Structure 1
Amino acid sequence: MENQLKEHTFVICAYKESEYLEECIQSLRGQKLRSKIIMVTSTPNDRIRKMADQYQIELYINEGESGITQDWNFGLEHVHTKYATIAHQDDTYEPAYLQTVLAEMEKASHPLIGFTGYSELRNGEKVYKNVNLNIKRKMLAPLKVKGFQGSRFVRRRILSLGDPICCPAVTFCMDNLQKPIFQNGFRSCEDWEAWENISRQKGQFVYCGEPLMSHRIHEESATTAIIGDNARQKENYIMYCKFWPPVIAGLINKFYSRSEKSNELS
C-alpha cells in the first residue's frame, strides 16, 4: 500500500463552497488503489477547511495570483509523486479509475499523460451518450491503437479537430513533462493548450476508452458559464489557428461549437 501512496497524488482544486466537494472526496478515497490526496484553493472558507479536516487532507492556500491555471499549477507544485491527477471539486471517479490508468501508463516506455473516457453527471444521473460525448469518442478512437499513442502526427491531427480529452480524467507523468504544464490566459481552452504543447514532446498519450470518471454539468459550472458568454468559441478559434489557416479554422470552429450545445442544461 505504501508504494502506491508514493506513486500517485490526487490534487483537489476547491473553489468557493461547492455542494459536491464531499462527493468528489469520497470517490477518491474509494479508489481500489490508495493514493495521496491533497487539496488546494485560492478561496479559503469554512466549508473547504471542514472537508479537509474531516477527511485528514493536507490543504494548501494559494495566496498568489489566482485563476484556473494558476491554481492547477500551484497544486502540481505540491506533488512529490511520479503521477498526479487534478480532481475538479464537482466531479467523481469510479473505483477502478486509478488502478486502470496507472496500469496502462506503467506499460508505456515514456508516458506523458494517461486518460480515460468519461460520462457526464446531469441532475444526479450519469449520461454516457450524447452528441458531444459521441464525437469525442470517435476523435480519440485512433489512440486505442498502442502504436499511435506515441505518434506526434496522430496526436496533433486529433487535437487539430478539437479537444476531446476531459481534463479531470487526465493523469500526468510528472517526471516526463515540462513545467509549468498550464499557461495563463485562456478561460476555457487552458487544458487544450496544454495538450497541444505536450503533444509536441516525445512520449505517449496513454488512452483507456472506458468511462471511469464523471464530469458534472450544472448551471454554476465554469464550463457552462463560459459557453454561455461565447468565450469558448473565441478561444477555440485561436486554438484551431495553431493547426490550420484562419479560413479553415473558422469553418471547423462553427461545426464544433454546435456539439457544445449539449453542455447546456436546457
Structure 2
Amino acid sequence: MTSNQPIHTFVLCAYGENPYLEACILSVMKQETVKLGRSKVIMYSSTPSYFLDALCIKYDIPFFTKPGGGISRDWTNALSFVQTKYGTIAQQDEIYLENYGTEILKAFGKSEDTLMVYSDYSEIDGAGNLRPRNIGLKIKTVALTVMNWFPRWKFWQRRIFAFGDFISAPAVSLNLERLPHFEFNEKYRMVLDWDAWERIMKMPGVMRYVKGKLMYHRIHAGSTTTAEIASGRRNEEELEMFNRYWPEFISKLIMKIYTQNQKFN
C-alpha cells in the first residue's frame, strides 16, 4: 500500500456548539499522518447544525449524521462511517499531539492481530493549560505499563483491569478489520469504554500500549464526565463493573478508594 493511501481515520464526534471543537480539529489536521495521506479526517454528529457545517466547510471535512440516542450509540455510529482499517474516535474536547497518528500506526504495524492501540495522556484545563500530574494520573501510567508487560496474557490484563479502567477512551484507536461492526453498550454512559475494552480484551489478538503522552484530555466544568459524577451515575456504573471481577463487599471497598480520584476531575 502506497504512502498516500489512507489506512486510518480520525472521526470527530461532535454535538452542540462546543467551544473546544475547533482546537480539536486543528490538532488532528496537523497530524503527521494526515499530512502524509496515511490518515484522513471526517466528522460525525447526531445533532447537525450550521455551526458544525461551517467548521466542516472551513476545514474541508466530510460530514456524516445518523439518529443518536446517547453517547454509546453516537460512538458506534461514528465508527460506522470509518472506511479505513484503523479508526480513532476524536472527542471534541481533546487535543492530539502531532505524532499521535504516527506512533499509533507504528504500534499497529507490529502484528496483524493487534486489536487496539492506546497511549498515555496528560490533562489540560478549559483554557488549555497543562494540569499538574496528580496521583490518579501517576497510578494510571503505572497500571498501563504493568498491563503491557505481558500484552498477550489476557488473565494478567484482566487482573489489572479489576482495579479500574486505566485506558483513556480518546487515546484509543481500533483495528476495525478485526473488530467489524463493533458496538458500544448502550446500557452505559460512563463506563461504556471500560466495558468495551474488557470485551475486546477477551477476543483473540493483542492490545498494545504506546508509552508516550500523545494527547491532552481536557477537564472542564461543562464536560459530560463532570456532569455524570455530580449526578452519581458514574459511581453506580463503576460499582457494576467492579462486581464483574470481585464479590460485592470487595467491590465496595475498592470503590471507596477509586472515587477519591474523582475529586481531580
- Unaligned runs of 5+ residues in structure 2 are none
Alignment of 1:20-35 (within 5 A): 20-34=20-34, 35=39
Q: Distance in 2 between matches of 1:186 and 1:5?
A: 36
Q: Distance in 1 between matches of 2:168 and 2:196?
A: 12
> Runs ≥4 in structure 1, deviation > 6 angstroms?
none
| TM-superposed deviation, 1:3 | 3.8
Report the counterpart of residue 98 of structure 1 in structure 2: 101
| TM-superposed deviation, 1:2 | 6.2
**Partner SS for 2:130:** strand
Instruction: Please say which of residues 94-103 and 150-159 is displaced more in the overlay.
Output: 150-159
Report the counterpart of residue 41 of structure 2 in structure 1: 37
Residue 178 to residue 160, structure 1, CA distance change in 2 (3 Å): farther
Q: Distance in 1 between matches of 2:213 and 2:193?
A: 19
| TM-superposed deviation, 1:66 | 2.2
Report the counterpart of residue 49 of structure 1 in structure 2: 53
Q: Distance in 2 between matches of 1:21 and 1:178?
A: 28
Deviations 1:39-65 (A, max 9, x none): 011111111110011111111112x24
Amino acid at match of 2:20: Y
TM-score, length of structure 1 as denominator length: 0.94
Q: Distance in 1 between matches of 2:182 and 2:79?
A: 9
Amino acid at match of 1:244: W
**Partner SS for 1:219:** coil
Residue 153 to residue 42, structure 1, CA distance change in 2 (3 Å): same
Q: Distance in 1 between matches of 2:20 and 2:139?
A: 27
Report the counterpart of residue 221 of structure 1 in structure 2: 223
**Partner SS for 1:126:** coil
| TM-superposed deviation, 1:128 | 5.6
Q: Distance in 2 between matches of 1:72 and 1:109?
A: 24
Identify the match of residue 240 of structure 2 among 233, 238, 256.
238
Cα RMSD between the aligned structures? 1.5
Deviations 1:99-127 (A, max 9, x none): 01110121134111101000111132123
8 Å Cα contact 1:144/1:208 also seen in 2:
no
Alignment of 1:80-95 (within 5 A): 80-95=83-98
Deviations 1:238-265 (A, max 9, x none): 00111111111111111111112111xx
| TM-superposed deviation, 1:36 | 1.1
Query: Percent identity at matched positions?
Result: 38
**Partner SS for 1:115:** strand
- Unaligned runs of 5+ residues in structure 1 are none
Deviations 1:214-260 (A, max 9, x none): 01001110011111111111100000111111111111111111112
**Partner SS for 1:16:** coil
8 Å Cα contact 2:80/2:181 also seen in 1:
no
8 Å Cα contact 1:150/1:202 also seen in 2:
no
8 Å Cα contact 2:147/2:160 also seen in 1:
no
Report the counterpart of residue 195 of structure 1 in structure 2: 197
Confirm whether residue 169 of structure 1 aligns to residue 178 of structure 2.
no
Instruction: Please say which of residues 170-179 and 122-131 is displaced more in the overlay.
Output: 122-131
8 Å Cα contact 1:108/1:206 also seen in 2:
no
TM-score, length of structure 2 as denominator length: 0.94
- Paired residues in the alignment total 260
Q: Distance in 1 between matches of 2:26 and 2:88?
A: 15
Deviations 1:129-159 (A, max 9, x none): 11221111121122343xx112111211121
